Amino acid sequence: MFITKKHLSRRTLLRGLGASVSLPLLDAMIPAGVALAQTAAAAKPRLGFFYFPHGAVMEQWTPAATGRDFELNYINAALTPFKDQLTVLSNLGNKPGESRAVHALVPATWLSCVHPRETLEPYMAPTIDQIAAKHIGQDTPWPSLETATAQGQGTGSACERGYGCTYTGTLSFANSTTPLPVESNPRQLFLRLFGQGDSAAERRFLAEQTGSILDMINDEMSQLNRKLGPRDRNTLDDYLASVREIERRLQNNAQGDLANLTLPEVPGATSENFDEHLRLMFDLVLLAYQGNLTRVQSFMLAPEVSEMTYNHIGVPDAFHAISHHANDPAKKDRLAQIQKYHVEVFADFLAKMRAIPDGEGNMLENSMLLFGSNMSNSNAHNQFPLPTTILGRGAGKLRGGQHIDFGRRTPLANVHLTLLQRAGVPIEQLGDSTGAVTEI
Amino acid sequence: MTGSHRILARAALAVLATVGFAASSAAADAPAAAGPLALVEARCAACHNSTDWAGGVAFDTLSPDNLHGDVEVWEETVRKLRGRLMPPPGEPQPTQREIDSLVGWLETRLDAAAAAAPPDPGYVGLHRLNRNEYAREIRRILDLDVDVTTLLPRDVFSEGFDNQAATLRMSPSFLDQYITAARTVARQAIGRTDAKSSSHEYRAPSSLDQSKHVDGLPLGTRGGFWVDHHFPADGEYVFSIREFFAMGAGYVTKVDHAHTVILTIDGRRVFQQTYGGPDDLKAVDQRQAIAADEIQNRFNQIRVPVQAGVRRIGVSFIQRSFAQSDSQLQPIAMLPEMERVPRIPGFTVAGPFDVTGLGDTPSRRRIFSCQPASAAEEPACARRILADLAAAAFRRPVNEEDLAAPLSFYTRARETRDFEAGIEGGLTAILSSTRFLLRSAPALTGDEAQPLTDLELATRLGFFLWSTGPDQRLIELATAGRLQDERVLAGEVARMLADPRATALVDNFAFQWLNVARMGNFQVDPTLYPDFDHNLRAALREEIRLFLGDTLRADRSVLDLLRSDTTFLNERLAQHYRVRNVRGDQFRPVRLTDVNRHGLLGKGALLMATSYGNRTSPVLRGVWVMDTLFANPPYAPPPGVEQFPENEPGKSMGTVRERLESHRALKSCNFCHGVIDPLGFALENFDVTGAWRDRDLDANEPIDAHGRLSSGVEVTGPAELARAILARPDTFVQAFTEKLMTYALGRPLRAQDMPALRRIVREAAGQEYRLGSLVRGIVASDAFRKRQPPEEGEPDGTAHVAHAGAGR
């Protein structure tokens, strides 16, 4: 059985739930002729790509032991409750992410493993979240969601002349030339995901009102239809098809996964409290999975070259400034503290995920989440060895509970390739990959 | 041309021999019929014949006695000859006189045949408002400015314009967003006391030069930027000037001297705070990031009461005197944080908090023509309000049926909350209705062309000249059945052209015709053009806007577009153009002594719009001239052509011109590039940013701006190119009018429209080709005033082909 063009048009619609639609997103649509078995019928894991900037203090990140019997290191201590769900990967490198431009390139090259062309206009390759979205994201309202805690480009020095500014503000490229914008405003994200309206009652009222609008348009169109020529009937058909698609979506919202979801209150103005903002974004990421609104997400925990201070955990230094620690042990400790904090917030998110029943197990169990950075030692700006951990066992597709040390430098692309394959994406090669990792 | 058509044409083959096509060397003084067509036989039929079918055209299959029957082919012949695209460069060329004689002969006959035939105004079907028109309609109906770019998807361009009926289709995501937009607009227009707070982040363009005064901010300020923001209710709003100082690689910079930051709302200062100076410098020295946080906190959580409505928020610095030095030098930095003075990277607005009311906004004044004193008065008041709004939105008087949906939406929303919520519901229905979203919905029977109704004409006039629906006066005249009275109509056209709303002809028509938007679509290579910044880009765009406005709005000859010596400059742009004695940010008219800067060909915005970020492109510029100024675009290159060789690091590739020489080598390239490239070469003295240059710095060679146009005329430099174009003014004016008419009708012109087009141009010649004369000609045309009944047959909205032959 094959997915028809009709399917495409539905995807187009559902994309349109968002506040704005940019045409390049259409590239993320499923190619014609993909067998349905690969997309809808087979169980599809949830994928997530969680990025933190400025690498990690590796000696406080990497577990001392390898194999299945290991203790998590200082930074990752909060992940201990999820030890059976996680895979720590050591000795990974991302050669294509290397350049003198560093911060300007590392976010977007993390998931592409392709070195961008040195032009001001974006030119790279699609990132793995987008490759996955084409295959497993087509039957959810959004093939993928891209979120962050800060909008757009990083601060000035994250933009490097020669490469332009397009690789630093997002993790996701839909295709070679289309960086995807990120949403960092929790309120906007909420309205985009769950519809306009500040309360459940208002959302219900508005959904009902939308139904009435569609009825009204239907009436107007059928009056027109009697008087029009065939060429105009085409336009009319467009209208009526649009009406039907939106009706179907309204029904889905009223009766589908979303109906069973208890939504929190709509966020108001963006908080200046980073901790609050970060946790709120994680909550929305979780809700998007839970409501089956999307299966693929990328999320930047903090912007590249963030100069934010972390006073709330007792680190008064600016994040990027202290990341240039000059090997001063005291500074490295404070940097590790920031990194440990990011892991802790992530762990809270994992705990919530694990508490949600899903199929045979729980949502975490059935997911594949990549947690890491595309920099190793922030003082050296290098791309080896990269801090990389996989969470979740992808409904049995991943072993979990181990620390794999490749022993020698291995392309990060191999891990990406493996994740895609396990998620059911037919792919043999990616960036500088040399083959899938069977141990994972 | 359809297949069956071609077969019929072939059947007429025999006729040809009888009119002397065989004559091989036709002289200009040969018999009238045979003479001009003999040129076709001599110069065209060697390729365009029923054996070779070059370009799908075979002249030996056409009958010269029935030009009208093959109007697509003959009009295309005229177009190619007029543009000197055929015979292609490299082939033996007829003289200009021979071509003129043939073109004249063909046009006379085609025009006479069209005049004898029944009117054929063409058909424009369902016509949806585009995004731009939507925004203007909201302003007309509700007196509200909405940021339509965040509400609605971008429209597809066709024929270079975003208002072409056949491409303004509907899709689920469009409809979805139009419904959301209706709701958002209705809420913004009415406001809401229980509006939930939300936050908006605004960022300054990273290449905005903040070392000087920024136009739009109060005088006496330096740097910063401004935005027009919609405040949904009277109340408190919280501003934060974020990442206010740059910390390059973690170092707090630019705290050495004290700078005063001010926040203004509609030009009124509501907040002032110092940044930098000895105390801050000391604190930063001693405590680094902690001190930076403290400084930042002075600019966080600025609570300001603001009244509802759209207001201009400005954040900037107080300008210091020269003695205090705010660095009057050009910023030499390529990255913003390298500027010597602090800049405002962005700010957020959050709110409303502690809402006190909805205030007295223009849109509320427009909407609430009555206020019910009691619940009993509500239904009558609601009906009155919604009837007024619906009449404005539907661009005509409304009836009971039109009000049914708005009133039922009112009732339903009134039940859930209050009267104002009810009005919001009714307004949402009106703005979602196809009666608002479709600017025309033809309903015709019969098979003869019929005149538009008065109301349809009013709407068409409105969207043509103002990009909005008709105003009250037009609707009244139309309702009274007086608009088709030629004297009334002429008066209305004159009134509309004089109205400020006619700037839409500049901002929409002219900008799209010239493709000005492309200048904003690419990044200029900072290593090659280190002095290029946002301010210069903005100045270039403003210059072309003012220049076009000056020529078009003052009803001058459209030929002035190519020859006017007056332009509009501010200091930044004058420096760029090397014009002396222009000081300050304000634009003012300046007479240009440099003849190369006169007219459109000397305008930086257009030269930029036809370049790449790192090099000029004679091809882009040549194609632009052909398409825009001649309405004669070349065909797309055949598949498989090689890319332009790029510069390789450390290796000079020679001039762009040298690299394009390869076009000459291949005959198939030269057919088009022999026409295109010389036009572009003439403009090579202008660099990517439109600055004058005598040398190509990439190749370190002098610029060679010489070219031989396909007409054989030799030109060197922009001024000579402009002169060559002006030597045949009707070609340019016809191109301009063709674009204007395409825009006015919302459909591409067909071969059948060309006689009318030529007539408009001929009649305008006596009026020096003033814009008004061309507009009047278009408004008087059958194509504008009448409508063909819908065709039966294939329901295909894209059946139009702009130029006959283009599809083959």
Q: What is the mean pLDDT of chain A?
A: 83
Work out the burial of residue B69: count CB atoms within 10 Å of its CB; fewer than 13 is exposed, 13-18 middle, 19 or more buried: middle
- Kindly state whether A270 is in contact with chain B, defined as any CB-CB distance less than 8 angstroms: yes
- Kindly state whether A362 is in contact with chain B, defined as any CB-CB distance less than 8 angstroms: no
Cβ contacts of A245 on chain B, cutoff 8 Å: 172
Q: Distances from the Cα of B605 to the Cαs of A293, B451, B515, B600, B697, in angstroms?
A: 44, 41, 10, 9, 21
DSSP B377: G
* Backbone torsions φ then ψ of B459, nearest 5 degrees: -65, -45
Q: Residues B303-334: pLDDT tens digits?
A: 999 998 889 999 999 987 655 544 444 444 44
Q: What is the mean predicted confidence (pLDDT) over B593-612?
A: 94
Q: What is the mean predicted confidence (pLDDT) over B460-475?
A: 96
> DSSP labels for B610-671?
TB-SSSB-HHHHHHHIIIIITS-PPPPPPTTPPPPPPPBTTB----HHHHHTHHHHSHHHHH
Among B571, B518, B497, residue whose Cα is nearest residue B209? B571
Task: Name the residue among A224, A229, A318 with its Cβ closest to that of B292.
Answer: A318
Name the minimum distance, in Å, from the CA of A413 to any CA of chain B: 29
User: Counting every residue, how long is chain A?
Assistant: 440
Q: What is the mean predicted confidence (pLDDT) over B693-714?
A: 87
User: How far is Cα B421 from Cα B399, in angstroms, rounded to an integer?
Assistant: 23
Q: Edge-to-edge, what's the strand order for the sheet holding A145-148?
A: A145-148, A296-300, A46-51, A367-372, A388-391, A86-93, A402-411
Most B CBs within 10 A among A12, A185, A219, A239, hence the mutation to make, goes to A239
Q: What is the pLDDT of residue A195?
A: 81
Q: What is the pLDDT of residue A53?
A: 96
Give residue A235's pLDDT band: very low, low, confident or very high (50, 70, 90): confident
Cβ contacts of A187 on chain B, cutoff 8 Å: 196, 198-199
Name the minimum distance, in Å, from the CA of B438 to any CA of chain A: 11
- Please answer whether residues A392 and A102 qualify as being in contact, where contact means their C-beta atoms are separated by less than 8 angstroms: no
- Kindly state whether A307 is in contact with chain B, defined as any CB-CB distance less than 8 angstroms: yes
Q: Residues A335-394: pLDDT tens digits?
A: 999 999 999 999 999 999 999 998 878 999 999 999 999 999 999 989 999 999 999 999
Q: What is the pLDDT of residue A85?
A: 96
User: How far is Cα B263 from Cα B277, in angstroms, rounded to an integer?
Assistant: 19
Q: Could you tell me which residue, A25 or B594, shows the higher pLDDT?
A: B594
User: How far is Cα B337 from Cα B342, in angstroms, rounded to an integer?
Assistant: 8
Enter the ipTM: 0.80
Q: What angle do CA B768, B774, B777 make, to 5 degrees?
A: 120
Q: Could you tell me which residue, A18 or B124, shows the higher pLDDT?
A: B124
Cβ contacts of A16 on chain B, cutoff 8 Å: 171-174, 176-177
- Kindly state whether A121 is in contact with chain B, defined as any CB-CB distance less than 8 angstroms: yes
- What is the torsional sign of CA B40, B44, B45, B49? negative
Place of tokens 């059946």: B799
Cβ contacts of B433 on chain A, cutoff 8 Å: 216-217, 220
Q: What is the pLDDT of residue B25?
A: 38
Contacts of A331 (CB under 8 A, 6+ apart): A317, A322, A325
- Kindly state whether A320 is in contact with chain B, defined as any CB-CB distance less than 8 angstroms: yes
CB atoms closer than 10 angstroms to residue B163? 29
Consecutive H or E run containing B542? helix B534-553
Work out the burial of residue B3: count CB atoms within 10 Å of its CB; fewer than 13 is exposed, 13-18 middle, 19 or more buried: exposed
User: How far is Cα A228 from Cα A31, in angstroms, rounded to an integer?
Assistant: 35
Half-sphere exposure of A1 (CA within 13 A, CB side): 7
Are B435 and A220 inside 8 Å of each other by CB?
yes
Work out the burial of residue B7: count CB atoms within 10 Å of its CB; fewer than 13 is exposed, 13-18 middle, 19 or more buried: exposed
Residue B508, pLDDT above cutoff 70: yes
For chain A, first and last CA: distance in Å? Answer: 32
B259-265/B309-318 β-pairing: antiparallel
Cβ contacts of B177 on chain A, cutoff 8 Å: 16, 20-21
Q: Residues B337-378: pLDDT tens digits?
A: 455 678 888 899 998 998 988 878 899 999 999 999 999 999
For chain B, first and last CA: distance in Å? Answer: 9
* Secondary structure (3-state) at B787: strand
Q: What is the pLDDT of residue B643?
A: 54
What's the pTM? 0.79
Q: Could you tell me which residue, A136 or A4, shows the higher pLDDT?
A: A136
Are A232 and B288 inside 8 Å of each other by CB?
no
Amino acid present at B470? P
Contacts of A166 (CB under 8 A, 6+ apart): A108, A121, A122, A179
